[in-house]
Amino acid sequence: MSLWQRLVVTLVAMFIASYLAGLIWQALFSVTLPSYAGGMVGGLAAIPVWELLKQVSPKRQGRNDSS
């Protein structure tokens, strides 16, 4: 998986995590989640997603196929 694909997946995961945190916060406390808290939740969710995508993507092999 290339860098830009990992970046897109990570950004989508950030937005989804932030949105879901806002919905859960609204349901529990009947007030809106502060934007800085939503950003923090999204940023913290991005870290394991990025690390997972780095490990899942296969290592690139050299193009020196001498078959």
The predicted-structure confidence for 28-48, as pLDDT tens digits, reads as follows 999 999 999 999 999 999 999
What is the distance between the alpha carbons of residues 15 and 37, in angstroms, rounded to a whole number?
13
**How much is the pLDDT for 67?**
47
**How much is the pLDDT for 66?**
53
For the full predicted model, state whether its pTM sits above 0.85: no
Rounded to 10 degrees, the C-alpha dihedral 38/42/43/46 comes to: 170
Question: How open is the CA angle 2-47-12, to the nearest 5 degrees?
Answer: 60
